[in-house]
Amino acid sequence: MVKHIVMWNIQAAAGEGKAASIERVKHAFEALRDKIPGLLRLEIGVDRSGVDYACDVVLYSEFESQAALDAYAVHPEHLRVRQAIEGLRVTRHQVDYAA
């Protein structure tokens, strides 16, 4: 199994507040459930701490293999989500590891 964790800081989109942009990111990734072969688990968390060094959103996902994670990276549904949130993320951090 491979765990894939991504954290973002989000900025407000034109015409909406930061909270609305965070919800757009959250819902976009939640829509990937049951659409990606080999994706075993997907969670989206929104920071509640409010500390200045925290990221706004975290994606925690588990894939059955590295091949499944690699296929996810280029899957049309994932690419659609990436396009939908384009311009909303300010920073991005990622960790992938075998479990």
Confidence of residue 92 (pLDDT cuts 50, 70, 90): very high
Average confidence score pLDDT of the chain: 95
Name the pTM for this structure.
0.91
DSSP states of 6-33: EEEEE-PPTTS-HHHHHHHHHHHHHTTT
Q: Which domains can be identified in the chain, with CATH numbers?
A: 2-98 (3.30.70.100)
Confidence of residue 26 (pLDDT cuts 50, 70, 90): very high
Q: Quote the pLDDT of residue 13.
A: 82
Structure tokens at 19: 């909270």
